[in-house]
């Protein structure tokens, strides 16, 4: 009976089951840290989505104000209207201000910059947060499964050690492992729901902002002297 005992304990007095059970604590810590990281990303994501969005009535009022100022030739005033503290944090106001500041580059270049800035400065950052939530939701059950497997290894190692197994100790070891899986699932399920909801909100934000920017670009094109001149030449040619 001595040989199996040495095998279970590592042959040199090393109690492998106890080491595995102690390592289970680190699994719990990892799952807890993963939950905190997921919660942090969730809060930041929802705060950013709320800041970047703008109500339709407010968007119409802002675009109407900018149209009025551009009609008077007051480009600086239009930029200041976009930079108003009430609107500056929104994606629409930021993109409109960028467009007005670069109006000397021509309509085609401004449209290119607008698309690039919108997707790199607004959409990309939010998509990265959504990806972080998805990663946390996938890692939670995997860490829990790892803890369960480690606990089962420790339990079967005690059973095969050659001595009389203690049912209470075995039950505690298996229970500890199952709780890690439960903890991983408890973290993963809410994060998965938040991630799906945030992704839907991001799609709505992107579609709504693109439509609002399309309305603004029509006004911008009408106020651009070069665009008006090109339209006049095209009409004269016809």
Q: What is the pLDDT of residue 151?
A: 81
pLDDT category of residue 10 using cuts at 50, 70 and 90: very low
In a domain, 99, yes or no: yes
In a domain, 3, yes or no: no
DSSP summary character for residue 89: T
Mention every residue, 6+ apart, whose C-beta is less than 8 A from residue 140. Answer: 31, 34, 35, 38, 183, 184, 185, 186, 187, 188, 191
Residue with tokens 């997921």: 38
pLDDT in tens, 192-232: 999 999 999 999 999 999 999 999 998 888 876 555 544 44
User: What does R_g of the chain's alpha carbons equal in angstroms?
Assistant: 30
Cα-Cα-Cα-Cα dihedral sign, residues 22, 28, 34, 39: negative
In a domain, 200, yes or no: yes
Measure the CA–CA gap between 210 and 220, rounded to whole angstroms.
15
Q: Higher pLDDT residue, 121 or 5? A: 121
Q: Report the C-alpha dihedral over residues 134, 135, 139, 141, rounded to 10 degrees.
A: 10
In a domain, 234, yes or no: no
pLDDT in tens, 173-194: 777 778 888 999 999 999 999 9
Range of the domain at 69: 15-225
Q: What percent of the chain has pLDDT over 90?
A: 44
Q: Where are the alpha helices (DSSP H) in 53-166?
A: 56-71, 75-82, 91-101, 107-117, 124-159
- At residue 132, does pLDDT exceed 70? yes
In a domain, 29, yes or no: yes
Q: What is the pLDDT of residue 237?
A: 57
> Do 51 and 89 meet the contact criterion of CB atoms below 8 Å apart?
yes
Largest Cα separation within the chain, whole Å, is: 105
Q: Higher pLDDT residue, 15 or 98? A: 98
Can you tell me whether residue 28 is helix, strand or coil?
A: helix
Q: Report the C-alpha dihedral over residues 150, 156, 157, 163, rounded to 10 degrees.
A: 150
Measure the CA–CA gap between 40 and 155, rounded to whole angstroms.
36
**Reported pTM:** 0.76
In a domain, 148, yes or no: yes
In a domain, 236, yes or no: no
Number of compact structural domains in the chain: 1
Q: What is the pLDDT of residue 178?
A: 85
Q: Higher pLDDT residue, 59 or 232? A: 59
In a domain, 4, yes or no: no
């Amino acid at each position: 009976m001595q040989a199996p005992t040495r095998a279970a304990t590592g042959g040199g007095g090393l109690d492998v089951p106890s080491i595995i059970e102690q390592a289970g604590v680190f699994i719990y810590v990892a799952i807890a840290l993963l939950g905190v990281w997921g919660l942090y990303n969730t809060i930041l994501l929802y705060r950013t989505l709320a800041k970047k969005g703008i109500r339709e009535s407010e968007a119409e009022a802002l675009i109407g104000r900018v149209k009025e100022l551009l009609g008077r030739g007051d480009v600086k005033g239009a930029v200041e209207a976009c930079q108003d503290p009430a609107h500056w944090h929104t994606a629409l106001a930021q993109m409109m201000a960028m467009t007005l500041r670069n109006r000397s580059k021509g309509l085609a270049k401004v449209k290119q910059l607008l698309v690039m800035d919108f997707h790199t400065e607004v959409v990309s950052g939010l998509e990265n947060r959504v990806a972080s939530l998805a990663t946390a939701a996938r890692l939670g059950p995997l860490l829990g499964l790892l803890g369960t497997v480690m606990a089962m290894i420790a339990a079967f190692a005690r059973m095969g050690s050659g001595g009389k197994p203690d049912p209470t100790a075995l039950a505690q070891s298996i229970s500890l492992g199952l709780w890690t899986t439960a903890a991983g699932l408890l973290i993963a399920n809410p994060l998965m729901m938040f991630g799906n909801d945030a992704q839907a909100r991001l799609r709505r934000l992107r579609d709504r902002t693109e439509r609002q920017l399309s309305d603004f670009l029509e006004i911008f094109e009408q106020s651009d002297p070069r665009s008006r001149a090109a339209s006049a030449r095209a009409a004269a040619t016809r």
